[in-house]
A and B are shown apart, each in its own frame.
Chain A
Amino acid sequence: MAHHTEISHHAPEEEHPTTTGINNRKLLMWVFLSSDCLFFGSLIATYMVYRGQSLVGPYPVDIIDVPITTISTFVLLCSSFAMVRALAATNEDRQGAIIFWLLMTAFLGAIFIGFQVYEFNLFKTEGLRIDTNLFGTTFFTLTGFHGAHVTLGIVWLLGLAWVAKKGRVGPKTALDVELAGLYWHFVDIVWIVIFTLLYLIGGFDTGPAGDPSLVPHSITGFLGLI
C-alpha cells in the first residue's frame, strides 16, 4: 500500500475540523439529496394529480407488468447491498474487494437499466408512448428521470472503480466511496417509492377520465397514505 503513504498524512475527514464536525462534502451531499426529494416529489405530484385522467388507453392495467418489475426492484436492492459492501471493503482497505463490489454495484444498476429499457420498448410496441396519454406522459417522465439518475450513478461508480484500480481508493479516501454510496442508496429509495406508487398501487388503474369511481378511490388512497 505504498501509494497511501504518498498521498497524504491525514485522512480528509480528520484534516479540516469543521464547526459541526461534519465533513463539508458529506454535508453538501445530504443537502443535495434533500433538494432532490423536492425534484422527485414534484414529478410524483404530477403523476398523482394526473392519475386516472388519461382520455385514451392504454391504461396502466393494460400494460404494467408487476412481476417483471418486482424482479428489477430486487436487482436494485441487491445493488444497494453491494454498495455497502464496497464501502466496508474500502474502510478495511481490501483492494480487490473494493473494485469487485464497485463493479458489482454498477453491474446490478446496469441490469436494472436493462429491465427499464426492455419495459419502455415493450410499452412502445403495445402502444404507449410519451405522447399517447397522460399516463404515458407522467409515467415515462418520472421513471425516465429516475433511470437517468441511475445511469449517472453507474458512470460515477465506474469512475470510482477506475480510480480504485489505480490503487487510489482506501480508508483515507473512503469518503469518495461513501458519497457515491449515499447517492446510490438515494436512487434506490426513490425507486422504492416509485415502485409502490406506480406499480403496486397505480398499476391496476383502469378506465378513462371522468370515471366517478376513481375520485373516491384516489381520496381513500391518499388518506391511506397518511
Chain B
Amino acid sequence: MATLTDVIDRPSGESGLWSWITTVDHKRIGVLYGVTAFIFLLLGGIEAGIIRLQLSVPDSTLVSADTFNQMFTMHGTTMIFLVIMPLSASFFNFVIPLAIGARDVAFPRLNAFSYWVFLFGGLLLNASFLTNQAPDAGWFSYANLTEKPFSANQGLDYWALGLQVLGVSSLAAAFNFIVTIVNMRAPGMSLMRMPLFVWMTLVTSILLVLAFPVITVGLIELTFDRNFGTNFFVPEGGGDPILWQHLFWVFGHPEVYILILPAMGIVSEVLPTFSRKPLFGYPVVVFSGVVIGIMGWAVWSHHMFTVGLGPVAVTVFMITTMLIAVPTGVKIFNWIGTLWGGQIDLKTAMLFALGFVALFIVGGLSGVSHAVAPSDNQQQDTYYIVAHIHYVLFGGALFGIFAGVYYWFPKLTGKLFHEGLGKLHFWLYFIGMNVTFFPMHYLGLNGMPRRIYTYASEFGWDGLNLLASLGYLVLFVGTLIFMVNILISLRKEPDAGHDPWDAPGLEWSIASPPPSYNFAKIPEVEGLDHYWIVKRRAAAEGRPVTEPEAYVDPSTIHMPDPSYWPLVTAIGVLVLAAGMLFDTGWDYIRFPIPFIGGIICFIGIIAWANEPPAKEHAGGDHHAEDGHGMAHHPATATAAVMERPAGAAGVTVRLLCSNCGNQLSSSFRFCPYCGGAVESPADPDHQEG
C-alpha cells in the first residue's frame, strides 16, 4: 500500500471538480453538506406534496395506499436524516472552526469522509425508489410490521442499511466536532467564552456519539431478523416487538434534541446580533442546553404511553417529560430577555429567528400536552402529533437553520442576500407553515389518524385538509423564492464587507469569504462576544478596527492537503452496506459483496494512514497529514503576516452596571446581566457597522 501512496500524489489544485471531490477544507465541506441537504429537502418536499395532494380531497385515488405508505415513510426519513441533520452539520462545518479561531477541524480528512458517507447513505436510501421497493413502515418502522412476513420486499432492508451508513457519517462527524471544540479553541477561549452555537454543537455531538450506537444495535437486530431468521422482534419465537420501540426511542428522543439544539444555537447567535445586546443570561442558556442534553435520555418512553408500559413506568416518564419543559422554557425566556430593551433590527435572519421562537413555543405547548399520558392516549397516532412534530421541526429546526443561512451567507460568499426577497420568503414560510400545520391540531383532535391514505367525506375532515394542502402551495412558492434569491444574490458583486451585521463572533473579524487558512494570526480571545469587545474598545479609542486582517500567501501557512482516500473509504462503506441487499442464497457466503466493500475500506484506510503530505511542503513533516493542531503554527504564520495594530493587548475596560451593579469586563452599551443601559464615558460613539 505504501507503493500505492508513493505513486499517487496527493491531489492539488484550487478549483475544478476534483478540487471539490478531494477537498478537506471545512468550509467547502460545509457547502457540500448544505447543497446536498437542500436537494434532499426538495425531494422530501415533493414527497410531502404528493401526501398533501392525495389528502386534499376525500376518497382520493391519486396514489395507491402502498405508494402513500412509501411517501410518508420516505418523507419522514428524508427530512430527519437527510435534511435537518446534514443542514446542521453544514453549519457545524462552516462555522465551528471560524467561531473558535481554528484553521480547520481536528481531522480534516475524517470530515470529508463524513460527507461522502452521508451522500452515499442518502443515495442508498433513495435508490429504493429505483427498484420500486421504497420502505413503507413509517419513519420509526415499528416491529413486527417490519418483519419479513409483513414487509416481504427489500424496502426495509434499504431503510435499515441506509440508516446504518448515515449513522457512520454522523458518528464520524460527531467525533470530529467533539475533538475540535474541546481541543482546537484559540487561546483565551475558555468554555464559558464559547459562542452559544459552539456549545450547542458540542452538546449535539455528544448526544450523537452516545445515541447512535443504540439505533445501530436496533438496526442490526432488525436486519438479522429479516435476513438470518433471528427472533429479536418475533413474538412467535418469544421475542418482543416492544424492544424495538424501546431501542428506537432510546435513540430517537436524544435524536429529537440532536435536531433542535443546533437550531437553538443558531438562534442564540442571531438574536443578540440583531438586538445589539449580549445574550441574556448566557451561562443559564448554556446550562439549560446541557441539561436538555442530559434529560433527553430520561424521557424516551413518552413515545410509547399507549403501548401499555404499566402505571409506574408511564408516571415516571410523564414526570421527566414535563420536567424537560423547564430548561426549554428557560431558553425561551432568555431569548425574550435578549430582545427586551434591544435595538431590534428586523433583517431576514432576525425574522426567521423570531419565527423560530414563536413557532417553537406553539410546538412546545402541544408537546407538553403529549406529556400528560391520559391526554396523550387521545392524541397518539393522530394528526395532532403530525402538527406537533412539524411545529418543532419545521417551525423550529428548519426556521432556525434558515436564520443561519441568511445570517452566515454573507460570510460564506461575501455577498448579501436580497433583503426584499428574503423577507418575502420568510412571510410565505411563516404563513404557509401555519396554514398547513395549524389545522392539523383540529384534525387530530377530531380523530383523523395519521398515515391513512384517504378518508370518507362523512368524517368532516375535508375543509381543513384542503386548507392544509393550500398551505403547502404557499410553502412551495416560498421555497422557489428562496432559490431565486440564492441565484440572484450569487450573481451579484460582493457587497457584504466582512462584518455586515456588526456581529460579536470571531468569524466576522476575518474577510468574507474567509481565506482557506481562516486566520493568518490565531486570535487571542478576550471574552465572550470577543469581536464586540474589540470593536467597542477601538471605537472608544477612536481608531477604526473594522478592517479584516490582510490576505497572506496561503502557501506560507501549513494547511491539510486534499486527499482521495476519504472518498475511497466512503465508497467501501457504501459497497459494504449495499452489498447486504444481494442475497445469493448460498450456504456459507450468502452475502459476498460486503466483503468487497470491506476490502475497499481496508485499502482506503491503509492508504489514508500512509498518505504523504503534498509535494510542496513534503519537507519531512511526517505527521502533518493528520491535520491536528493546524491552527497552531504561530511561528510560520506571524512571520508572513503584516503587523496589526496592537489592539489585542492590554486595555481592559472595567465598568460597573449602573442598574444591577455587576462588574462588566468590556464596554457594552447594555448590561449582559440585567439588560440595563450602561452609561460609559469610554464608549460614546456606538459602532453601527
Contact = CB atoms under 8 A, between A and B. Distances in A.
B179 A27 contact: yes
A209 to B, nearest CB: 6
Interface string B162-187: 00000000010001101100111100
Contacts of A7: 620, 622
B637 to A, nearest CB: 13
Contacts of A18: 183-184, 628-629, 632
Nearest to A7: B622
Interface string B95-113: 0000000000011000000
Interface stretch (B58-66, B232-240, B329-337): B232-240
A125 interface: no
Contact of B238 (A17, A23, A54): A54
A42 B247 contact: yes
A16 B632 contact: yes
B210 A28 contact: no
Contact of B622 (A8, A28, A133): A8
B231 A35 contact: no
A138 B217 CA distance: 12
B629 A55 contact: no
Contact of B220 (A23, A27, A53, A141): A141
B641 to A, nearest CB: 20
B214 interface: yes
B252 interface: no
A12 B623 CA distance: 7
Contacts of A31: 175, 178-179, 209
Contacts of B447: none
B606 interface: yes
Interface string A11-54: 01001111110111101100110111011011100100110011
Chain A interface residue number, banded = 35 or more
Contact of A137 (B213, B231, B606): B231
B228 interface: yes
Contact of A46 (B189, B243, B620): B243
Nearest to B606: A159
A134 B231 contact: yes
Interface string A121-149: 00000000011011001100100010000
B224 A35 contact: no
B229 interface: yes
Nearest to B621: A8
A39 B216 contact: yes
A6 B612 CA distance: 14
Contacts of B549: none
B230 interface: yes
Given A25-B626, A32-B175, A39 B240 contact: no
Given A19-B184, A22-B183, A46-B221, A53 B209 contact: no
Contact of B228 (A15, A34, A43, A131): A131
Contact of B213 (A19, A24, A36, A155): A36
B217 A46 contact: yes
B243 A35 contact: no
Contacts of A20: 182-183
B218 interface: yes
B212 interface: yes
Nearest to B176: A28
Contacts of A17: 629, 632
Contacts of B107: 24, 28
Contacts of B221: 46, 141
Interface in B236-263: 237-240, 243, 247, 250
B179 A39 contact: no
A209 B622 contact: no
A215 B672 CA distance: 57
Nearest to A43: B217
Contacts of B209: 31, 34-35
Interface string B184-206: 11000100000000000000000
A25 B231 CA distance: 39
Given A27-B179, A46-B217, A134 B621 contact: no
A24 B179 contact: yes
Contact of A27 (B182, B239, B623): B182
Max chain A C-beta neighbours (<10 A), residue from B209, B230, B620? B230
Contacts of B237: 55, 133-134, 137
A145 B231 CA distance: 17
A54 B232 CA distance: 11
Contact of B623 (A15, A39, A54): A15
Given A8-B620, A28-B106, A133 B214 contact: no
A131 B230 contact: yes
A50 B224 contact: no
A16 B224 contact: no
Contacts of A53: 238, 240
Nearest to B629: A16
A28 B173 CA distance: 11
B232 A46 contact: yes
A6 to B, nearest CB: 7
Interface in A150-173: 155, 159
Contacts of A6: 620
A19 B183 contact: yes
A19 B232 contact: no
Given A25-B628, A38-B210, A131 B185 contact: no
A141 B230 contact: yes
B621 A35 contact: no
B239 A134 contact: yes
A49 B183 contact: no
Given A55-B238, A131-B231, A137-B232, A28 B179 contact: yes
A141 B602 CA distance: 23
A24 B214 CA distance: 25
A42 B240 contact: no
Contacts of B630: 16
Contacts of B622: 7-8
Contacts of A137: 224, 230-232, 237, 239
B201 to A, nearest CB: 14
Nearest to A131: B229
B160 to A, nearest CB: 15
Given A28-B179, A31-B175, A31-B179, A42 B238 contact: no
Interface string B310-322: 0000000000000
Interface in A69-122: none
Given A19-B189, A24-B628, A49-B240, 5 more contacts: A17-B629, A18-B628, A23-B628, A27-B182, A35-B175
Interface of A: 6-9, 12, 15-20, 22-25, 27-28, 31-32, 34-36, 38-39, 41-43, 46, 49-50, 53-55, 130-131, 133-134, 137-138, 141, 145, 155, 159, 209
22 contacts: A8-B621, A16-B628, A17-B629, A18-B183, A24-B106, A27-B179, A27-B183, A28-B176, A35-B213, A42-B217, A46-B217, A46-B232, A46-B247, A53-B238, A53-B240, A54-B238, A130-B224, A134-B239, A137-B230, A137-B231, A141-B220, A209-B238
A-B complex: 5 closest residue pairs judged by Cβ atoms? A16-B629, A131-B229, A39-B213, A42-B217, A24-B628
